[in-house]
Structure 1
Amino acid sequence: MTAELTTLTLAGLLQGLQYLAFALPANAELGTGYTASPRDRAPSRSLSVKTARLQRALSNHFEALILFTLAVTVVSLGGQNTPFTAACAWVYLGARLLYVPAYYFGWRPGRSLIWAFGFLATMAMLIAALI
């Protein structure tokens, strides 16, 4: 498996771990009466600050993962795998690994800088696929 596909697989596993890291405290805080419901109304309780941050980090990774998946697909199907695209893929994954604690602990401006590294690595992969 290429480095790009390996990092995509690991990013998918990270997404699963992020989901669990959010879902477990969210279920405890909101109660299973709400979380198992069709959620036709807003919850009667709010999430704690840290759990809400985990939710936002999870949503952000879903958004980032779409672009990263696109980049890996284009690089892989186009036969454009290079040491540069592999390095970019690893930078993306590293940034996403750091992003979760950065968001959870409210690191400023660190969280935004970490996000930018992952985003720029993804954009660099797409540009490299065109060259």
Structure 2
Amino acid sequence: MTLEDDHTISLSKSDTGGHDAQQVTVLVADDDADFRETLCLWLANEDTYETNDVQNGERAIAQLDETVDILVLDRQMPKLSGPEVVERLDKTSFDGAVIVLSADTADSALDENDVTEYLTKPIGQALFLDTMRRSI
């Protein structure tokens, strides 16, 4: 599988004496394969995440359902942009948190009123993971 392919990383570490921690499913939608991989690797070091990643907004909409807990979304993507994905969320069964990670600052097309968190790139690991923990 190449970095351009969509893929899933399932991790389940438990520090609870043999009990599995809560499974959190994250969908990362960004057209930058290296950035998607970085976010997935950061999540891999945490307790329990199942991480799916897609390279465009169209695939994000196709994968969003009630099993996804957090959508990490870029604004500038092919096929459907981040704001277009947000506009279509009500046509999916997704009911989780939306975290935007974008080089663009928030504006009237997509801002903190539309999503759970709006963060600008570049972003560090500590801020990203803290935001993820708050969004569960």
- Normalising by structure 2, we get a TM-score of 0.29
Bigger CA radius of gyration: 1
Considering fraction of residues, name the structure with more helix.
1
Considering fraction of residues, name the structure with more strand.
2
Greater RCO, CA 8 A, separation 6+: 1
- Normalising by structure 1, we get a TM-score of 0.29
